[in-house]
Amino acid sequence: MDVLNLTEDALEAKCVEWRRWFHEHPEVSTEEKKTSEKIFTILKDLGLDPVRGTDHYGVAATLKGGKPGPMVALRADIDALSVKEATGLPYASQNPGVMHACGHDIHITTLLETILRLLRRKEEIQGSVRILFQPSEELSPTGGARYMMKDGFLQDVKAIFGLHVWPSFVCGKIGVKAGAMMAGSDRIKVVIKGKTAHAGHPQEGIDAIMAAADFLQQISHIVSRRVSPLATATINIGTIRGGSRYNVVPDEVTLEGTIRTLDEENRKRIPEFIQDILDGLKKSAGVDCEFNYYYGYPVLDNWPVPAQLVRDTARKVLGDEGLVSQVVPDLTAEDFGFYLQEIPGAFLWLGCGTEGEPIHGLHDARMCPNENALVVGSKLMSQVVIDALAALEQGADFSKRE
């Protein structure tokens, strides 16, 4: 593809075409074969030398600038969700029961459009750009970020940047902040074991459902009494399974749920609090308990200097009105947090809503992002790359945490 001779209209039209192809052909985590092949082919057509992941469908490439210097990375996730699409779009999913309901089709194409813009400005780039198309972001608690890291795709990278579409922000606005921006997301499974008996002789059994009710009451006190009211955390039990018949004392109940936190210290302490409750139940109710805690995605914790660089660049590209002034952290989760545990960087929210139209949130079967977000995101991220490399070359310390 002759990027240099594409008009702006032609460039944007090509990216819309790509985005709609990705939207029509969604694939869930670990199954992103066609998506990966399409990305690989586009990158080859752009003159890059892409590399496939080891035992996964991730794709990486390196764009070298016109001048020597450090390396930064850009990441897009590529998987879809098991959601039956309800948008009514002419380019709706052709894969029944699977949809890009989290906007990863926009993420893929925004990164591709960013590459097009960077290729046009190659001589301005003081260093190089590692491009990451990551699979399995939705595969909690594993996450595809760790696949990319294991393959060494972050080697020599000095800073990393990424984005997520945000339906509650109108197109043309972005949100970013230093510090915790998205939640650490963990899962729990608790099995409470009692003793079965006839309901007419409850004293002969140990009621697992009653013990589960006590457990539910007590874990609600963790957030209100064991965690600082200045911190943010939530514990949600999403499923309860137990009992076999209306007139039988149940002998086993299984509860599963999620824990979301914005602080890694509280994240470490909450499992201890839950274990204390279960130890007490063993004594008070006579039950046995099995407790499994599955650590998932860490708190997405933006580094201050990269986050400020994104804000400064956004003002330059979008104007002051393009920045959301007060960005409130969200208790959804993102495995980009794994990258930020290893390398300085920042993650931003890209507005994709349309003024005056209903907001359909992430994972909603009706979600339909404004495609103008591609232009906004690619113009911003291409400038972020150029500004970040220049700052690093001039000695900026992206590794400051304070």
All structural domains of the chain, each given as residue ranges with its CATH number in brackets, are 3-181+299-393 (3.40.630.10), 184-297 (3.30.70.360)
Query: How many C-beta atoms surround the C-beta of residue 290 within 10 A?
Result: 12
Average pLDDT on 250-260 reads 97
* Share above pLDDT 70 across residues of the chain, in percent, rounded to a whole number: 100
Say what the pLDDT of residue 367 is.
Answer: 97
Residue 115's pLDDT band (boundaries 50, 70, 90)?
Answer: very high
Strand ranges (DSSP E) for 176-331? 179-182, 184-193, 197-198, 233-242, 248-249, 252-261, 288-297, 300-302
Instruction: Evaluate if residue 402 carries a pLDDT over 90.
Output: no
- Tens of pLDDT, residues 43-72: 999 999 999 999 999 999 999 999 999 999
- Tens of pLDDT, residues 327-360: 999 999 999 999 999 999 999 999 999 999 999 9
- What distance in Å separates the CA atoms of residue 70 and residue 128, rounded to the nearest whole number? 6
Say what the pLDDT of residue 4 is.
Answer: 75
Instruction: Evaluate if residue 1 carries a pLDDT over 80.
Output: no
Residue 300's pLDDT band (boundaries 50, 70, 90)?
Answer: very high
Average pLDDT on 147-169 reads 98
Prediction pTM value = 0.94
Strands 252-261 and 184-193: antiparallel
Residue 229's pLDDT band (boundaries 50, 70, 90)?
Answer: confident
Residue 301, Cβ density class (10 Å: 0-12 exposed, 13-18 middle, ≥19 buried)? buried
Say what the pLDDT of residue 3 is.
Answer: 75
List the one residue out of 70, 322, 54 whose CA is nearest residue 62: 70
Instruction: Evaluate if residue 30 carries a pLDDT over 90.
Output: yes
Say what the pLDDT of residue 5 is.
Answer: 85
Helices and strands in the chain: count of H runs, count of E runs = 9, 15
Say what the pLDDT of residue 292 is.
Answer: 97
Instruction: Evaluate if residue 155 carries a pLDDT over 80.
Output: yes
Contact criterion met (CB below 8 Å) for 271 and 264: no
* Share above pLDDT 90 across residues of the chain, in percent, rounded to a whole number: 95
Average pLDDT on 272-285 reads 96
- Mean per-residue pLDDT of the chain: 96
Say what the pLDDT of residue 2 is.
Answer: 82
Instruction: Evaluate if residue 138 carries a pLDDT over 90.
Output: yes
Contact criterion met (CB below 8 Å) for 98 and 25: no
Instruction: Evaluate if residue 108 carries a pLDDT over 90.
Output: yes
